Structure 1
Amino acid sequence: MPKPYPREFRDDVVRVAQTRGAGVRVEQIANDFGVHPMTLFKWMRAADVDAGTGQA
């Protein structure tokens, strides 16, 4: 099983994805940071839930 990414790293990647410019895809950000796009989508969903703006 792979080691989990540090919390600071996940938070940074999510922040970049949430503040991305028009035309920048989440998949590209995931590739730039070396994570799977689905992993980033899950992190973003969890961040929304933690912030109270998303559904569990």
Structure 2
Amino acid sequence: MFGIFKKKSKLDKLQDAYKSLLEQSYKLSTTNRSESDKKQAEAQKILEQIEVLQQQ
């Protein structure tokens, strides 16, 4: 009724993971640039997966 029991689609899960990785990357950018770059690269891979799902 209110969407409480609605399961997340694969696209929703990927978008949440992408957002989380970008936030982590931003937080790390002030202290550890190499780790920030790694998180950014992971986020980019997830973004590519999101784009593939949206094209289908």
State the TM-score, normalized to the length of structure 1.
0.38
Higher relative contact order (CA 8 A, sep 6+): 2
